[in-house]
Structure 1
Amino acid sequence: MKAWSAPVVPQFRFETPSAPGRLRVHDTARSRLVETGPEQGTARLYVCGITPYDATHLGHANTYVTFDLLNRVWRDLGLEVHYAQNVTDIDDPLLERAQATGQDWTELAEDQTELFRSDMEALRVLPPQDYVGAVESIPEVVALLERMKPTGTIYQVDDPAHPDWYFTTSEAPGFGQVGGLSEQEMIARFSEMGGDPERPGKRHPLDCLVWRLEREGEPAWDSSLGRGRPGWHIECTAIALDHLGAAFDVQGGGSDLAFPHHEMCAAEATVATGKPFAEVYMHSGMVALDGEKMSKSKGNLELVSRLRRKGHDPMAIRLALLAHHYRSDWEWSGDDMTRAETRLAHWREAVQQGAALDATQVIADARAALRTDLDAPSALGLIDAWAQASVTVGGDDTAAPGLVRDFVDAVLGVAL
């Protein structure tokens, strides 16, 4: 599957003092800041992608801008980045929406994936090198399940009509460490998030579906496990292991994915490889609207495409997201857009004239903020102060505006 077009990014290689030499982020599994990414070479990143049955809302955009910032900060440290992302282009919500609207499920998936691509391009999100649909990953999923069979951790439920395949989570070393929940909390959360803890024939309520055998009227594919389709968790596990290998640097997504999705992926991969799935589990906060988390199922959405159609500059949309720390939960309002548009105009005015403040220190301080748990709000505040001095006081430094402009573009992803 093709990703979206990459933005043109300035080759920013400007050395500054006083900035940390490694990036530290919050690891959900350890509940503390940890260094992430190698000291040199290639950092490996997997971010869970969309289920393409509806348009990109600001909760989605918040997640993908968060991990784009991670990608850019790693690159600013001189690292290469191998980034992989999936598209869950076969799953129950997609099939249900297609049936409700009378649209072919493959057309619905492609239409919404293309809209997502256009939103990501507009927001100047760097595309993944590997953009992989669930359907095209089916051979890798089946190969992974065949690899797991000898461990005895996958089994078929005792259901003559639908003897689906499940994974025994309780036998996975460290199961429960990603989300940090008790067993009863996990069971409750599993049920809330579409799991089936009460299904008869399972070994344990937390065992997760890995291969759903064919139902009448549903798409299915031939395999050694029987004709069917993959479960959600095993899809991401197979894609990540196939493209990044085990123990990659960061598994990313929204905080609602910590359990069950990332927990289940980690368990499956550990059993299959004997190694950790990822070194760090990093999660962005939830964005609310009208007092509740933005959700396709609830319909309380503000869409990136709708804001764009109204004439809002995508760079202002990006700034509105970066103004909130990536781990925070927050509520969207029109004031976010107004403040971001004012900030964008102020920055653009500032880079058109001579600077009063030295760019070296401003960039060093902004780098230090970003390398300390991706503190974008502090970095934005530093650029604000530089822009204010440039606009109100002016100066003779004609090189500084170009340096700040290129830094903002290359690292914050905002084209001025």
Structure 2
Amino acid sequence: MSAPSAPSAPSSGAGRTDGPSVRIGALVPLTPPGWVEAGRHLLAGLELAVREVNDAGGIAGRPLELVVRDTAADPRRAAAAVDELASLGVAALAGEYHSVVARAAAARADALGLPFLCSSAVLDALTEQPTRWVARLAPAQSHGWRIYADFLLGTGHSRIAVAAAPSAYWASGARILRDHLAPRGGTLVELDMSTLAPTAVCDALAGQRATALLLLVGHPEPAVSIVRSVRRDQRLAGITIGAPAGQPEFAPWATLPGGDGAAVPFLRYLPRRLGPLGARVGAALRERLGEAPSFVAFEGYDTVVVLTDVLRSHGGDRAGTAEPWSSVAVEGTRGRIRFSRPPGISVWQWAWPPVQVVDRDPAEPDRLRILHTG
């Protein structure tokens, strides 16, 4: 039985243009159990870029319209949304944050021959087979998490524990870390969060002699409870807590009591310094969001930049929009965007966006410190 269609969010895209709109379907997690903060930032970036495209004349004089569907971190709901959006005649799909959800959406888009530019999901195997219909802005998980592993090794961590929940995404991350650490003298110890409560992590960790614990679990729970338990256990006073998946990126993490959210290194996909476009967009996103924009908001903006370039080349025609990934060369907020087919990646890939390892400053949790770049 097919999943029910996802409820609509308001479409956006009014501007100084005439004629029928060119529609882009946007897949965004806007309700739990989806990561709502990530969805809010992603949508803010998408909407800002659509507004600017329309202010500049749209697509060959036609307004660009964003048709938003909430995936709520549900792969079946996302696949159903792709079918619905295709029936509405969208020219392309954009968005999604959760990797397992993006994989379901990519499979349907590929089957329907509907171009999909994935904004933020990183799972290497976004599609089972190579496809010409799907491209991605975020770096592949293997690329970013190897950079994170190099950061751990470079800061003296060779025995690393991971608190891992069961999912294809977390299992893939653990495998990438293990395979990268092992030939470099590192060891990965897995703590199975399907059998451990957050408070039991401390007992399991205390006997492992690990110097770092990585959170391969959902946010806010059980990630927040694990952090609180470890921070309060005197046996683990010297251990580093890390979050390669980026749980501390969003503002609520900075408000954890007692500074628990500080000094937790995570991956972030921004350059050390934004150029003029990135700085301008960053200021506009801050005004729209009421807080500092995350890298996810910039990914949303860049998604529309790329799709606008593709659609303007083909007058908004869906049939022609799959092939031009190879000819994209546009300036995004975080650098020049081009797509290629890196080994082991089944989709067209921006190789690579800038990658940072950052944490929140214990003295000023709203401030992010750059610890490593790759």
Same fold flag (TM > 0.5): no
Q: TM-score with structure 2 length normalisation?
A: 0.28
More strand by share: 2
Specify which structure has the bigger relative contact order, considering alpha-carbon pairs within 8 angstroms and separated by 6 or more residues. Answer: 1
Tell me the TM-score normalized by structure 1.
0.26
